[in-house]
């Protein structure tokens, strides 16, 4: 799997609705406290360091706290990423290849850690309010560890406290833009959505 297709899993937990009014940081903290499950659709654009489009994709995401998620790419290619609470499974249907990693090694100090687990956000990220722009309130989260693949993460919330936009700048100068829609907080989600069994004929790689 390529860098752009593999590392994007780290974004998986970044399309989630937040329910509180107020600052972006307070909206984020309220989400951590209140959102147990999430369902959403997303569009994703990957930009190079000159802001030129490298790739566009879209799909759906499901999330259950703590550390369970199902991220499905539907366009332009089919790919599935499942976190079962212990491991993360990357299934590339085009290549018929599965990569599996331990959850703690796969997530690290990433957007997954920022939003998915029952954690103290500020133990892992420096959070800074960066103001309002076009009815969106923004915060910036900078990982405290050098092991993260991202230099900085910016989250944009509506004035009602819903996460609408997220940008991630990686260590290669690329930026990923996520726009979220159809956000549904605390839906009932079947437990088997967060389980994955590799197809019999798939090539399975363990990191």
Look at the block and give the residue holding tokens 């997220």.
166
146 class by beta-carbon count within 10 Å (0-12 exposed, 13-18 middle, 19+ buried):
exposed
pLDDT band with cut points at 50, 70 and 90 for residue 98: very high
Which residues, including other chains, have CB under 8 Å from residue 122's CB and lie 6 or more apart?
none
Averaged pLDDT of the chain: 82
| Residue 204 lies inside a defined structural domain of this protein | no
- C-beta of residue 25 within 8 angstroms of C-beta of residue 131: no
**Does residue 111 have a pLDDT over 70?**
no
Residue 7 has pLDDT above 80, yes or no: no
Look up the pTM and report it. Answer: 0.77
d(CA 175, CA 169): 4
101: containing domain: 13-186
The CATH number that applies at residue 178 is: 2.50.20.10
Q: Is residue 87 part of a domain?
A: yes
Whether residue 123 is contained in a domain is answered as yes
Report CA-CA distances (Å) from 36 to 44, 68, 104, 112, 189: 24, 10, 20, 14, 10
Q: Residue 174, class by beta-carbon neighbours within 10 Å (0-12 exposed, 13-18 middle, 19+ buried)? A: middle
Q: Looking at the domain assignment, is residue 198 inside a domain?
A: no
Q: Is residue 4 part of a domain?
A: no
In a domain, 195, yes or no: no
- Cβ within 8 Å of residue 134, ≥6 positions away: none
Residue 107's Cβ-count burial label (10 Å; 0-12, 13-18, 19+) is buried
96: left (phi over 0), alpha (psi -120 to 50) or beta: left
User: What pLDDT digit, counting tens, does each position of 62-95 carry?
Assistant: 888 888 888 898 888 888 989 898 998 999 998 9
Considering the domain boundaries, does residue 201 fall inside one? no
Q: What angle do CA 196, 153, 40 make, to 5 degrees?
A: 45
Beta-strand ranges (E) seen in 19-135 are 37-47, 53-64, 68-75, 79-84, 87-92, 97-102, 125-133
Write the pLDDT tens digit of every residue in 150-195. Answer: 888 899 988 888 888 989 898 889 999 989 899 899 999 999 999 9
**Number of domains comprising the chain:** 1
- Reply yes or no on whether the pLDDT at 198 is more than 90: yes
Whole-angstrom CA distances from 199 to 8, 86, 92, 93, 195 are 22, 19, 11, 10, 13
Structural domain contains residue 101: yes
């Amino acid at each position: 799997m390529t860098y752009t297709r593999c590392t994007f899993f780290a974004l998986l937990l970044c399309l989630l609705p937040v329910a509180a009014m107020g600052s972006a940081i307070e909206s984020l903290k309220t989400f951590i406290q209140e959102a147990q499950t999430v369902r959403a659709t997303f569009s994703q654009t990957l930009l190079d360091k000159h802001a030129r489009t490298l790739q566009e994709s879209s799909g759906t995401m499901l999330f259950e706290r703590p550390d369970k998620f199902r991220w499905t790419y539907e366009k332009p290619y089919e790919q599935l990423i499942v976190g079962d609470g212990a491991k993360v499974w990357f299934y590339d249907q085009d290549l018929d290849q599965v990569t599996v990693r331990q959850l703690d090694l796969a997530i690290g100090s990433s957007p997954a850690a920022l939003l998915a687990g029952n954690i103290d956000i500020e133990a892992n990220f420096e959070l800074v309010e960066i103001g309002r722009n076009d009815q969106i309130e923004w915060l910036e989260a900078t990982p405290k560890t050098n092991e993260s693949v991202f230099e900085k993460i910016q989250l944009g919330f509506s004035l009602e406290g819903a996460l609408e936009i997220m940008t991630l700048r990686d260590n290669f100068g690329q930026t990923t833009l996520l726009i979220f829609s159809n956000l549904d907080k605390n839906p009932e989600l079947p437990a088997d959505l967060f389980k994955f069994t590799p197809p019999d004929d798939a090539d399975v790689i363990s990191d």
